[in-house]
Structure 1
Amino acid sequence: MRIADLAGWDRDFPVKYLLVKEDEDGVEQFWGRCAGVEGLFGEPVPLPREVLTLRGCRPDGPLCELLAGPDASARSLGEVCVEVWDDERPVQWWTLVDAVVVAHQPCPADPERRDIVLGAGVRSEESFLGLPAAPRFELFAGTATGDTVGAGRCSAVDGLFEERAAPAPVPLELIGCEPAEPLLAALRRPRRTERDWVELLVLDRHGAVMASRTLGLAITGARPSVLGGTLVDITLTDGGSDRPSPAARPIWAHWYQGPPTEPNLWAP
């Protein structure tokens, strides 16, 4: 498959995207080409805010410093990593996103420790084993220099192990798409390919690949394109959770004209 042979067509607007997929032998197959994609850029869907309580906590590092100040509830800890340990090693990892101290008080069972109420978004990172019979919770937080340091330990984290619904997927629209035979087959039988994927190649104005994204092939619908002719517009159920930020649009627009001719244009 030659990109140069696929990057042009006899229409008044350019090809900006190619859809390709590797077969079982690792050979790229051409699935289609498009004039546009709507929904490619987007900020991550924010996690719902939750209330958690660190029970029997011995705060350290950034958490200890925050609790010692007069305005603990007005400052964020940023991301707090919670490691769940058995007797020997961590077996689960959680991230508390934008963790904020709501309140804190001495632990009734041990006045030397604190019960700390946090507000945060909760993200499960990894789990090797189930919850140990007697878990230990180690806390880590970031510093102003970007390092991660210990923030203490606690005997329990109320609210951590709740059932959480997955965020609703955000659709992606392929606009002005000319499907090749593999994509036509997927459109005829969308359920057979809903667990499949394709690679979206982003082209610059010279037809060179300037970026790529992996897209799931769960197809919600297809219809005659707003651009007319024999083209179709295709809706994918989920455009993915790692889309580039809208703040990157100017950079992509610059690269569309060709690679930059001076350094550090990305720095701002």
Structure 2
Amino acid sequence: MIPTVQGGRGKGGQWRYALTESEHGHVWGVCAEVDGLFREPGRATYELFDWVPDAAEVRGWVGCRVWLVPEEEAFDPWLLEDVESPGRQRRTDALVLTGLDDCMGPPEGHRAPVRLHDGYRWLGSCREFTRVLPDEQAAPSLVLRGLSPGDRLREALATGTRRALDLDQAWLEIRDDSGEPLADRLLRPKVRAWRPSSHGPDLIDLELGEELDRPVPGYARPLWDRWLAGPPEAPGAWAGLDTREREAWLELVRDRGCRLKHQDRPAGQSYELDGRHITDEPSLYLALGEAFNGPGGYFGGCVAALAECLQGNFGYTAPATLLWRDIAPARKHLSHVLTAEGEPYDLVALVLDVLADGGVRVTFG
């Protein structure tokens, strides 16, 4: 059974979810709970033949991003995200990987050798691979429970034709308990069914024939529950998380931060960064976000986004100073990372250059 999100209204009486038409912004309806937001996403499966590891055994959770780099330079690397592995297949030399396939995927028909890395180290190589096609299954629907339908949705349901029940393109907008925007998901919803809801009179349970392309996996559910209650009040709430959880935390920080309206502070501000817990890439951007915008703050989730935030509209105005306390962990863990193609570079030095180009004078303490 797909779990539901309990407690649909925030402390201020706000509905947690809204289904909003994407072009003109009219609201189809607001609701208390959604079935289908929290579930395991569909994962691609690869079988890598003649696997030769470069380091330790690849098993369990492998990394946020694993790049498959073709031996032939004519082909670009491709990406698997949130990668897991049960390890080698019994009595074979093949390694099995599962992950979220990027939009490009491998070159069609490509079977030549590839090397794999997780952005930090080389994992190993294989002679060839195959993508295992999953069994065909009906796409799970999305059910909006306790929905208060808007006038346009009432009209569409009363009409009942296939055309009227095709809601075209819409956003499922998600707010926290204080009513502040938290995240959203883009849909192309078609009404499959509706029925009176147990949540109250004049409310319905609306079933949409739409599978979310970005459901929230089980390991991220506790993090979402924390953010749905409101943003953190103290910095470093992410420090005790592992890399996988930090990546999910950063996604929430980014989703929320890009929806907030930031008032740029005057030039000449002084900021302070706590570097004690920077041991991976997501923690670098989480620490930067909190340095510039306080607990749960966003200030870029990659180098390009950091450069964009330095241009304004995210609370910052050049010039400024940043005191980076305890840079040693970042230098230890992020001074020798890998590009998609597997070329080593110094991420800490790159970030310092981007900050300098954006008018931030960095000192260390």
TM-score between both structures, scaled by the size of structure 2: 0.48
2:116 counterpart of 1:140: yes
Asked if structure 2 preserves the Cα contact closer than 8 Å seen for 1:85 and 1:92, the reply is no
Equivalent residue for 1:118?
95
Write out aligned runs for 1:80-99 (5 A). Answer: 81-84=67-70, 88-90=73-75, 93=78, 95=80, 97-98=84-85
Write out aligned runs for 1:1-268 (5 A). Answer: 15-23=15-23, 27-45=24-42, 52-54=48-50, 59=52, 63-65=53-55, 76=59, 78=62, 81-84=67-70, 88-90=73-75, 93=78, 95=80, 97-98=84-85, 100-102=87-89, 116-121=93-98, 124-125=101-102, 126-127=104-105, 130-131=108-109, 136-142=112-118, 147-149=120-122, 151-152=124-125, 154=127, 156-157=128-129, 160=130, 163-165=133-135, 168-184=138-154, 186-187=156-157, 188-190=160-162, 194=166, 196-267=168-239, 268=241
Question: Tell me, which stretches of 5 or more residues in structure 1 are unaligned?
Answer: 1-6, 67-71, 106-115
CA shift for structure 1 position 34: 1.1
Tell me which amino acid in the other structure corresponds to 1:175: R
CA shift for structure 1 position 228: 3.4
Asked if structure 1 preserves the Cα contact closer than 8 Å seen for 2:170 and 2:186, the reply is yes
C-alpha distance in structure 2 between counterparts of 1:65 and 1:128, whole Å: 24
Secondary structure of the structure 2 residue equivalent to 1:98: strand
Q: Could you say which structure has the larger radius of gyration? A: 1
C-alpha distance in structure 1 between counterparts of 2:108 and 2:43, whole Å: 27
Tell me which amino acid in the other structure corresponds to 1:219: V
Asked if structure 2 preserves the Cα contact closer than 8 Å seen for 1:20 and 1:30, the reply is yes
With over 3 angstroms needed to count, the CA separation of the structure-2 counterparts of 1:127 and 1:237, relative to structure 1, is same
Q: Which moved more, 1:234-243 or 1:218-227?
A: 234-243
With over 3 angstroms needed to count, the CA separation of the structure-2 counterparts of 1:122 and 1:53, relative to structure 1, is farther
CA shift for structure 1 position 53: 2.6
Asked if structure 1 preserves the Cα contact closer than 8 Å seen for 2:42 and 2:100, the reply is no
CA shift for structure 1 position 214: 2.4
C-alpha distance in structure 1 between counterparts of 2:42 and 2:105, whole Å: 23
C-alpha distance in structure 1 between counterparts of 2:167 and 2:106, whole Å: 25
Tell me which amino acid in the other structure corresponds to 1:101: R
Asked if structure 2 preserves the Cα contact closer than 8 Å seen for 1:172 and 1:239, the reply is yes
C-alpha distance in structure 2 between counterparts of 1:65 and 1:216, whole Å: 44
CA shift for structure 1 position 234: 0.7
With over 3 angstroms needed to count, the CA separation of the structure-2 counterparts of 1:53 and 1:94, relative to structure 1, is farther
Q: Which has the higher strand share?
A: 1
CA shift for structure 1 position 45: 4.4
CA shift for structure 1 position 206: 3.7
Tell me which amino acid in the other structure corresponds to 1:28: G
With over 3 angstroms needed to count, the CA separation of the structure-2 counterparts of 1:208 and 1:128, relative to structure 1, is same
Secondary structure of the structure 1 residue equivalent to 2:26: strand
Q: Which has the higher helix share?
A: 2
Asked if structure 1 preserves the Cα contact closer than 8 Å seen for 2:49 and 2:126, the reply is no
With over 3 angstroms needed to count, the CA separation of the structure-2 counterparts of 1:186 and 1:138, relative to structure 1, is farther
Question: Tell me, which stretches of 5 or more residues in structure 2 are unaligned?
Answer: 1-7, 242-365
C-alpha distance in structure 2 between counterparts of 1:38 and 1:122, whole Å: 23
CA shift for structure 1 position 32: 1.2
C-alpha distance in structure 2 between counterparts of 1:256 and 1:53, whole Å: 43
Secondary structure of the structure 1 residue equivalent to 2:31: strand
TM-score between both structures, scaled by the size of structure 1: 0.62
CA shift for structure 1 position 222: 0.7
C-alpha distance in structure 2 between counterparts of 1:16 and 1:124, whole Å: 30
C-alpha distance in structure 1 between counterparts of 2:27 and 2:206, whole Å: 17
Secondary structure of the structure 2 residue equivalent to 1:90: coil
